[in-house]
Amino acid sequence: MTASLLRWYEREARELPWRRTRDPWAILVSEVMLQQTQAARVVPYYERFLARFPDPAACAEAPVADVLRTWSGLGYNRRALALHRAAGVVAREGWPDDLASLPGVGPYTAAAVASFAFGAAVLAVDVNVRRVLARSGLEVEPTPQLNQALMELGATVCTARAPRCSACPLADGCDGPEEAAQGGPGRPRFEDTARYVRGRVVAALVAGEALPEVGPERLARALDGLERDGLIERSEGRIRLPGDTLG
């Protein structure tokens, strides 16, 4: 089954820029950006970010405000802050043996960078890979190419809601999806969430525009959270991005 999966990947793999490099910085940037974000949406932000910050030193030396401006529009701004902090560690000390010791780097991201940048024989298990393995029962000896193939299969064929089992190279011997449908109340509108307000605030500061009109209580909670997370600074009644000389 593994051989079938690898042959499928050679034919069907999407052309994504982070698959053409073994630079650990470029791979770390891609993995942080890809968290909860579709690959097609990440590509232009990835290319723009690396053009501005081609290595950890360039990112570490830049003010946080510049990093947030370059990241702006991708969402989940705390990821940019963690990436800036990780760049500082790598610029000062080099890449650690334990990649999970870097700020914002969890077990999956550490395994992905170890595999794709350093060739480590570790299985990088994200939500897509976990789903493929659970459904197929596949047992693997991990390699970088196999990790990529499992991720690609989970992202494009063995999807959570509408798997294309007829196109799957692991269909023989796979029982297919067995997840029960999830009931319960629906999700709130994104516009009603705290993340929406936080994103609007950061976007307004990046653009030099007025803060969003979302109601004083929602705005106050968002500002408190952003300040607590190190994504804004407040001084003498002024709000700005961290280290921003334009604020």
- Give the catalytic positions in this structure: 31
Tell me the CA end-to-end span of the chain in Å, nearest whole number.
Answer: 57
Q: Return the ∠ at Cα 91 (arms to 89 and 96), rounded to 5°.
A: 55
Q: Say if residue 43 is exposed, middle or buried (CB neighbours under 10 Å; 0-12, 13-18, 19+).
A: middle
For 99, 125, 179, 197, the CA distances from 118, given in Å and listed in that order, are: 11, 17, 35, 39
Q: Which helix (H) or strand (E) holds 240?
A: strand 238-240
Q: Return the ∠ at Cα 102 (arms to 154 and 202), rounded to 5°.
A: 80
Q: How far is CA 42 from the centre of its chain?
A: 9
What letter would DSSP give residue 188? P
